[in-house]
């Protein structure tokens, strides 16, 4: 029978996620806030984006590349960040 739950993260995994979060969350949060979304929606986009990104094996091996930043923005759009907001931010 398959388990419905994953194992609890190790301390090393928790530290690695903390590094990943510290590297990407502030910038991503700033871009999400610039979209003028309601705070609960913005928080959901941020948390879902970072969790889904962390579950991708490439993010864990090279968490701070510029490619991963671009990928995070695309993932955030899939999570509800409006494309139009990004265009407005980057076309200033």
Span 12-64, pLDDT tens digits:
888 988 998 998 999 999 989 999 999 999 999 999 999 998 888 666 655 55
- Top pLDDT among 82 and 71 is at 82
- Top pLDDT among 5 and 51 is at 51
Residue 70: the pLDDT is 82
Q: How far apart are CA 21 and CA 74, in angstroms?
A: 17
Containing 90, the helix (H) or strand (E) segment is helix 83-90
Structure tokens at 19: 């590094």
Helices and strands per DSSP (H, E), number in the chain: 5, 0
Query: Model's pTM, two decimal places?
Result: 0.78
Residue 62: the pLDDT is 55
Statement: residue 4 has pLDDT above 80: no
């Amino acid at each position: 029978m398959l388990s419905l739950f994953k194992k609890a993260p190790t301390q090393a995994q928790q530290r690695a996620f903390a590094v990943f979060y510290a590297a990407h969350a502030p910038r991503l949060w700033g871009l999400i806030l610039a979209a003028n979304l309601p705070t609960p929606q913005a928080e959901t986009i941020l948390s879902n984006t970072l969790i889904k990104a962390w579950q991708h094996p490439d993010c864990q091996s090279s968490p701070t590349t510029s490619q991963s930043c671009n990928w995070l923005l695309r993932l955030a759009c899939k999570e509800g960040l409006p494309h139009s907001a990004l265009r407005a931010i980057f076309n200033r």
